[in-house]
Amino acid sequence: MPINKSNLTIPKTHIINKMNLLKSRKIKILVYSFYIILIDQVSKFWILGTLGFDQSKSIIPNFLKLTLVKNKGAAFSIFSNSTTLLTIISIFASLLLVTIILKSPPRSYWNSIGIAYLLGGTVGNGIDRLFKGYVVDFLELVPINFPIFNVADISINIAILCFITDMILTKDKSRNTFKN
């Protein structure tokens, strides 16, 4: 029985539109990451010019202070004084994230946003490690005993929340698929 090839062809415009959509999504992720890096670096540059190290300035009384510190470790100061190792990890992770963005189509909205925030935060702190030998941290939550952090750290935490949201929504979609 002969197969009618005209029924199997996909219009060229459909493929081109799909490819352009993926390219624009990838570019948006990279641009969004760039803005996160820019905000992080400008905020660190501003705080370095405004406040001396180990000094504090209250922004919201009993809630938020600006306290400038040099963090030579990672989150919660783990791997303290391992700047070279952490710099290599930051560069490797950043390159891996850019490769993922460029080679793999984004799975979902939340996954795309999470990757953008993760790349922005990773590069933001990586720039500090590479050029300063430490990460500039300056946001201190007063009412709780929490480590001092920066915009890049916030971005990394937002990325984690986006990935969790993506997993929950993806799990719900797959559960609904199996019910039908």
Residues that are catalytic: 137, 153
**Looking at residue 6, what DSSP letter applies?**
G
Beta strands in the chain (DSSP E): 56-60, 64-71, 135-141
Q: Which tokens go with 82?
A: 């391992």
Tell me if 110 sits within 8 A of 169, measured CB to CB. Answer: yes
Tell me if 173 sits within 8 A of 98, measured CB to CB. Answer: no
AA identity, residue 92: F
Torsional sign, CA 29, 34, 40, 42:
negative
Torsional sign, CA 147, 149, 154, 155:
negative
Q: Which tokens go with 20?
A: 């352009």
CA distance 171 to 29: 23
